[in-house]
Structure 1
Amino acid sequence: MDQPAREVYHFKDKEQSSNLLLQLNRLRQENILTDVLLCSDNTEIPCHRNVLVSSSPYFRAMFCSNFVERQQTKIDLKGITSTILSSIIDYVYTGLISISMDDVLPLMQAASMLQYGRLFEACSSFLQKQLSPDNCLSMIRLSDIMSCKSLRDKAKEIAMKSFCDVSISEDLCELSLPELMGYLEDDSLCAEEEQVFETLVAWIHHDPLSRRGAISDLFKKVRLRYIHPTYLFQFIANDPLIQSSTLCTELIESVRRLMFSVSTKCSGDIAADFKHPWVAPRRYSYHDMLVVVGGRKNNEQTSREAIVFDERSQMWQWLAKLPVRLYKASYVALHSVLYVIGGLTTNPKNSEVSRTVYTLSLKTNHWRTAEPMLEPRFAHQSISYLHFIFALGGLGPDRRLTGSVERYNSMFNLWESMAPMPEAVLHPAVAATNQRIYMFGGEDAMHNPVRMTQVYHIARNMWSKMENRTVKNVSAPAVVMDEKIYIIGGYTRRMIAYDTKANRFIKCASLRERRMHHSATVLSNKLYVTGGRYINGHDVIEDSDAFECYDPKTDTWTSKGSLPYKLFDHGSVTLTCVSQTWSKS
């Protein structure tokens, strides 16, 4: 007959290990079975060799190899104070230790010497909690002395993220040239290029005799393409350090030539020294955010709201409100600054066509006034290209349609009249690429759709026009992606892309409804459409809070939720900010 299975009970005593350690510590305290004395500062601490050997590779090598200490009953540990040694032995027998700023460094040194790795990392964790922009550079030096990678990595992260604060610290001026170069050339540095320039100047002025010769090498680390032209040509170009360097002045002149040539690409004969500073990508700490501003909110009065969408958090947040209510202003981004141009002021007593220009940056979250336009206008279009803003057409003070064009030059902070458009139109789709401004469709003074494309050559200040039966859009935005101009809706569901190289239109996936008075911008190589008005199934016009995204790779639309409110005749622009500098209101 089969024997019955024998029952086995596997018992695990969870308290055994902790109790054992507790009992060993009592034996140590009562000096029972101890077989070695650790000595420091005339203090003797009795211990058990087997406990020390089990806790540290240092003691294992000491007592289990052919070292002289194997035969000794007293071991003198030099370089460790009795207080620190006593704390470490308590830690060995109990697993407990108290770390403070007063003793963390000698404790860390002793833990390193005696090879208590977890205690060493506990000291590192303690120091990481004390990190700030004021001490992170000195902590990096300390981590190098201690060979503590975890502390160094965390301190370096703080230095990179809070570089604006770190750059004004005394410790930064003590960096060596290779150390400073390492920071300035790092893609993950959280600083605007203006701050990068000011940092290298401050570093040189700290010791001008020995450091002056480094100006050209340091200046190459500044990514000139992302500096505001006014700052570059009026401040940087006139800095005595820059003027003292032939290479630096040549770099600035190369930028000047490129900007005045109205070209987006580096020419073939560009100097090798200039190529990298110009084509270097934006730093990783820069990221784009979508800003929605103005318009008619919830079918009520004109809105002063400005809101920002962070693609990382998928959240909307409120910015500072526009100083005034503006009806049919134009909205454009240039040098990571939002410009609100012209419009009709909607005061309770009277309305006035404005030529005022308001600006907002995410860095300050504060509205300012900029140089006003030459002519008041509203219901016009604005477009930016390189360091220019163009204000096109619209309605003037007499409420009549105008074909006038003016251009703002950010390099010289002035507006100037340009060649007027061949046909004055309202609400066309406008985009700029490849040294040209393209104006599609719109409507004439009698509100009839205009089937026409008008093209302005920026460098030549000349217009041309061509009839096109494909074009039939009114109150539709246009954006540029991959050298194609996308025209989105405009009293239609249709979206078409104009290939500027092939001079042909391509049909794209349609919108869900017939949309108009909406806005669009490009964020992370995708097209985002906000708000507008749509015609429902009963041919009734309704306001929209839609927030949709188009991916050109898949030719598909997806909903991104909704705006915080219904909105039309507003602006949507993409602004770039440095992660740590945006001041939220």
Structure 2
Amino acid sequence: MICPRKKRPIKDEDFSAIVVPSMRGHGYLDYTVESHPYKAMQIMDEFRHHELLCDLVLHVTYKDKIVDFKVHKLVLAACSPYFKAMFTSNFKECHASEVTLRDVCPQVISRLIDFAYTSRITVGEKCVLHVLLTAMRYQMEEVAKACCDFLTKNLEPSNVIGILRFAEEIGCTELHLRAREYINTHFNEVTKEEEFFSLSHCQLLELISQDSLKVLCESEVYKACIDWVRWDAESRAQYFHALLNAVHIYALPPTFLKRQLQSCPILSKANSCKDFLSKIFQDMALRKPLPPPPHRGTQLIYIAGGYKQHSLDCLEAFDPRKNVWIKLADMESPCSGLGACVLFGLLYTVGGRNLSLQNNTESGSLSCYNPMTNQWTQLAPLNTPRNRVGVGVIDGSIYAVGGSHASTHHNSVERYDPETNRWTFLAPMSVARLGAGVVACGGSLYVVGGFDGDNRWNTAERYQPDTNTWQHVAPMNTVRSGLGVVCMDNYIYAVGGYNGQTQLKTMERYNVTRDVWEPMASMNHCRSAHGVVVYQCKIYVLGGFNQGGFLSSVECYCPDSNVWTYVTDMPVGRSGMGVAVTMEPCPVILLEEDEDEEEM
């Protein structure tokens, strides 16, 4: 009898005896099938549909319905921490073959199960909120994020408050944040929708207390409160005073506040609110020192036009917090020697000229840039063109001072009324001034320095709007034209300029109360025809010109330390630009324009 031979185990040494090794003798096979996970899940999904190897039945109850789903525990646990904990911990469902999910829409569960097996989900607009709620309940983060992204893209003024409330109720932090950001950016549009009037007084109070609201003027916030109270005046009038305390009242234009006191029906029935606003208006009318109102949203420094070999048409904004420059919509035509100011959140550019090898045309134009839309609008032109004009704002009106047209240097002054879109001549200055420093302070307009075609001035004049008269104030210590002037803490700062022989780096400060000028710290660079603004209690100087050419440097002055510090450089050095500070442009508008450029 022949005994069968027993097979011995095969070892690695057996192969090494019959396989000829490479010269290195230590190679390994490393092979990956990229489609394997997808194919494996595809087969698992086929098993589910054919009820093969399913180890769990989900009983989904909703109202009077019960719908069953046969699934694999492993698949659910792999894509949901909720189910992973259920099936791997000491819960009673750990070894159960049946689990009941209560008060959940079966159609939504069906879609989430499909996603678990296929990594794909398709949801109609009407069902997204239900899917988001269920995905959050069962901790399916990818689906929840996809729903948030979809809802964010479809936010509108008419639905954003409802979505905000929903996100708050279900604890979806990301969606709540995005809805809040949308409301802050589109506040004025949102307040026109019916959802806005369904807010409780606490919700409205929380909303208007946000300094991140993007509004061109505080009057938009005030009007929103008035409209909300008027919607149900009988029950809501009691909350009006609390709402007023959240409005930045000192940021309201005096003319607007006066009209409200005269004609607002809500105020006429709320004596305490009317007395509160009347006192503030009286302080404004008497030019009493007022607390600086906090700004809504982020403020940026805007730089319009300028000159470098030719007049420029660019508009840029500088964010000192992030040290970044933002390219914005170009002006309709190149312009240098222009004035710039901000009125009710809008950026205005006044006068200037278009200078190039082919062209030299003085401008009388008035252009308005809206940061909410990133668009320019042309308004009523000046009565006379003005190059190197000075500009200031008092009580909701724009003042254009001096400048030149051809060989004529102006001592004339014009005032623009935005409500009528008209310019009106006012009393002229004592002398003609081109390249003068102009600033509003304490309800008066101050004009310092400048050039009349023959003489450069150190003299200063003050204009009183109430009497339409000018009076001389103390002259500067230094002759200056092409200087920059700003008002801060009831002081007027005169920075740089040209004395007829050289550009200056010196700065002096005018004490409005004592009527005296005193020298302050000098800049790091001499410059004239530069831009000067106040930003967060510091003075910023941008660009300009000196013997070395066009300057791109930006310097910052801190009044507490009396020290100038280099900040950064502008993208393009230039002189003769208009500068002002207002709210940052709407990020949605900028994003859309970037996408348009990419498509081109």
TM score, norm. by length of structure 1: 0.72
Instruction: Supply the AA of the counterpart residue of 1:487.
Output: V
* Whole-Å separation in 2 of the counterparts to 1:476 and 1:117: 59
Aligned length: 533
Is the Cα contact below 8 Å between 2:214 and 2:583 reproduced in 1?
no
Partner residue in 2 for 1:508: 522
Output one character per residue of 1:193-242: Cα deviation in whole Å (capped at 9) or x when no partner: 22212222222222222112222222222223333333332256521112
Return the match for 1:290 from 303, 311, 318.
Answer: 303
Please tell me whether residue 315 in structure 1 is matched to residue 335 in structure 2.
Answer: no
Partner residue in 2 for 1:561: 571
Partner residue in 1 for 2:58: 38
Partner residue in 2 for 1:362: 370
Is the Cα contact below 8 Å between 2:261 and 2:278 reproduced in 1?
no
* More contact order relative to length (CA 8 Å, sep ≥ 6): 1
Please tell me whether residue 573 in structure 1 is matched to residue 583 in structure 2.
Answer: no
Question: What are the equivalent positions in structure 2 for 1:198-209 lying under 5 Å apart?
Answer: 198-209=223-234
Q: Secondary structure at the match of 1:317?
A: coil
Q: 1:581 to 1:195 in 2, by over 3 A?
A: farther
Is the Cα contact below 8 Å between 1:387 and 1:411 reproduced in 2?
no
Deviation of the 1:428 alpha carbon: 4.6
Is the Cα contact below 8 Å between 1:548 and 1:561 reproduced in 2?
no
Question: What are the equivalent positions in structure 2 for 1:368-387 lying under 5 Å apart?
Answer: 368-369=379-380, 381-384=390-393
Question: What are the equivalent positions in structure 2 for 1:73-92 lying under 5 Å apart?
Answer: 73-92=97-116
* Whole-Å separation in 2 of the counterparts to 1:126 and 1:98: 11
Q: 1:38 to 1:337 in 2, by over 3 A?
A: closer
Is the Cα contact below 8 Å between 1:431 and 1:485 reproduced in 2?
no
Deviation of the 1:254 alpha carbon: 2.8
Partner residue in 2 for 1:552: 557
Give the percent of matched residue pairs that are identical in Structure 1 and Structure 2. 21
Question: What are the equivalent positions in structure 2 for 1:98-137 lying under 5 Å apart?
Answer: 98-137=122-161
Output one character per residue of 1:249-290: Cα deviation in whole Å (capped at 9) or x when no partner: 233323322222234x33xxxxxxxxxxx6440112454423
Instruction: Supply the AA of the counterpart residue of 1:315.
Output: K
* Whole-Å separation in 2 of the counterparts to 1:333 and 1:62: 61
* Whole-Å separation in 2 of the counterparts to 1:343 and 1:62: 73
Is the Cα contact below 8 Å between 1:166 and 1:172 reproduced in 2?
yes
Instruction: Supply the AA of the counterpart residue of 1:365.
Output: W
Partner residue in 2 for 1:497: 507
Q: 1:405 to 1:577 in 2, by over 3 A?
A: same
Q: Secondary structure at the match of 1:34?
A: coil
* Whole-Å separation in 2 of the counterparts to 1:376 and 1:20: 77
Question: What are the equivalent positions in structure 2 for 1:381-396 lying under 5 Å apart?
Answer: 381-384=390-393
- Across the aligned residues of Structure 1 and Structure 2, the Cα RMSD in angstroms comes to 4.9
Return the match for 2:493 from 482, 485, 492.
Answer: 485
Question: What are the equivalent positions in structure 2 for 1:452-531 lying under 5 Å apart?
Answer: 452-454=458-460, 456=462, 463-464=471-472, 470-480=477-487, 483=491, 485-490=493-498, 491=500, 492-501=502-511, 503-506=517-520, 508-509=522-523, 511=525, 518-522=529-533, 524=535, 525-529=538-542
Q: Which runs of 5+ in 1 are unaligned?
A: 267-277, 347-352, 537-543
* Whole-Å separation in 1 of the counterparts to 2:400 and 2:239: 44
Partner residue in 1 for 2:165: 141
Q: 1:392 to 1:262 in 2, by over 3 A?
A: farther
Return the match for 1:254 from 265, 279, 289.
Answer: 279
Is the Cα contact below 8 Å between 1:160 and 1:189 reproduced in 2?
yes
Is the Cα contact below 8 Å between 1:80 and 1:106 reproduced in 2?
no
Deviation of the 1:133 alpha carbon: 2.6
Please tell me whether residue 196 in structure 1 is matched to residue 221 in structure 2.
Answer: yes
Is the Cα contact below 8 Å between 1:286 and 1:579 reproduced in 2?
no
Is the Cα contact below 8 Å between 2:483 and 2:494 reproduced in 1?
no
* Whole-Å separation in 1 of the counterparts to 2:410 and 2:46: 96
Is the Cα contact below 8 Å between 1:229 and 1:411 reproduced in 2?
no
Instruction: Supply the AA of the counterpart residue of 1:317.
Output: A
* Whole-Å separation in 2 of the counterparts to 1:396 and 1:119: 65
Is the Cα contact below 8 Å between 2:338 and 2:389 reproduced in 1?
yes
Q: 1:408 to 1:189 in 2, by over 3 A?
A: closer
Deviation of the 1:578 alpha carbon: 5.9
Is the Cα contact below 8 Å between 2:114 and 2:121 reproduced in 1?
yes
Is the Cα contact below 8 Å between 1:184 and 1:196 reproduced in 2?
yes
Instruction: Supply the AA of the counterpart residue of 2:503.
Output: R
* Whole-Å separation in 1 of the counterparts to 2:456 and 2:80: 85
Question: What are the equivalent positions in structure 2 for 1:156-167 lying under 5 Å apart?
Answer: 156-167=180-191
Q: 1:399 to 1:345 in 2, by over 3 A?
A: farther
* Whole-Å separation in 1 of the counterparts to 2:32 and 2:262: 76
Instruction: Supply the AA of the counterpart residue of 1:283.
Output: R
Deviation of the 1:77 alpha carbon: 3.5
Is the Cα contact below 8 Å between 1:489 and 1:511 reproduced in 2?
no
Is the Cα contact below 8 Å between 1:495 and 1:507 reproduced in 2?
no
Deviation of the 1:104 alpha carbon: 3.2
Q: Which runs of 5+ in 2 are unaligned?
A: 1-23, 320-324, 356-361, 594-600
Q: 1:398 to 1:30 in 2, by over 3 A?
A: closer
Q: For structure 1, which segment, 181-190 or 386-395, has the greater mean C-alpha deviation from structure 2 after superposition?
A: 386-395
Q: Secondary structure at the match of 1:151?
A: helix
Partner residue in 2 for 1:233: 258
Q: 1:11 to 1:411 in 2, by over 3 A?
A: closer
* Whole-Å separation in 2 of the counterparts to 1:462 and 1:306: 35
Deviation of the 1:102 alpha carbon: 4.7
* Whole-Å separation in 2 of the counterparts to 1:582 and 1:86: 36
Q: 1:286 to 1:244 in 2, by over 3 A?
A: farther
Deviation of the 1:167 alpha carbon: 1.5
* Whole-Å separation in 1 of the counterparts to 2:390 and 2:448: 12
Q: 1:357 to 1:231 in 2, by over 3 A?
A: farther
Q: Secondary structure at the match of 2:523?
A: coil
Q: For structure 1, which segment, 69-78 or 7-16, has the greater mean C-alpha deviation from structure 2 after superposition?
A: 7-16
Is the Cα contact below 8 Å between 1:287 and 1:576 reproduced in 2?
yes
Q: 1:66 to 1:556 in 2, by over 3 A?
A: closer
Partner residue in 2 for 1:539: none
* Whole-Å separation in 1 of the counterparts to 2:570 and 2:131: 53
Partner residue in 2 for 1:171: 195
Instruction: Supply the AA of the counterpart residue of 1:175.
Output: L
Deviation of the 1:182 alpha carbon: 1.2
Is the Cα contact below 8 Å between 1:290 and 1:523 reproduced in 2?
no
Return the match for 1:47 from 71, 81, 98.
Answer: 71
Deviation of the 1:332 alpha carbon: 5.2
Deviation of the 1:163 alpha carbon: 1.6
* Whole-Å separation in 2 of the counterparts to 1:332 and 1:88: 56
Instruction: Supply the AA of the counterpart residue of 1:520.
Output: G
Q: For structure 1, which segment, 145-154 or 48-57, has the greater mean C-alpha deviation from structure 2 after superposition?
A: 48-57
Q: For structure 1, which segment, 479-488 or 217-226, has the greater mean C-alpha deviation from structure 2 after superposition?
A: 479-488
Deviation of the 1:426 alpha carbon: 6.0
Instruction: Supply the AA of the counterpart residue of 2:168.
Output: D
Q: 1:332 to 1:131 in 2, by over 3 A?
A: closer
Deviation of the 1:188 alpha carbon: 0.8
Q: 1:95 to 1:340 in 2, by over 3 A?
A: closer
Is the Cα contact below 8 Å between 2:299 and 2:581 reproduced in 1?
no
Q: For structure 1, which segment, 127-136 or 392-401, has the greater mean C-alpha deviation from structure 2 after superposition?
A: 392-401
* Whole-Å separation in 1 of the counterparts to 2:351 and 2:78: 78
* Whole-Å separation in 2 of the counterparts to 1:443 and 1:473: 8
Is the Cα contact below 8 Å between 1:440 and 1:471 reproduced in 2?
no
Deviation of the 1:184 alpha carbon: 0.9
Deviation of the 1:86 alpha carbon: 3.7
Q: 1:367 to 1:297 in 2, by over 3 A?
A: farther
Is the Cα contact below 8 Å between 2:507 and 2:523 reproduced in 1?
no
Instruction: Supply the AA of the counterpart residue of 1:499.
Output: R
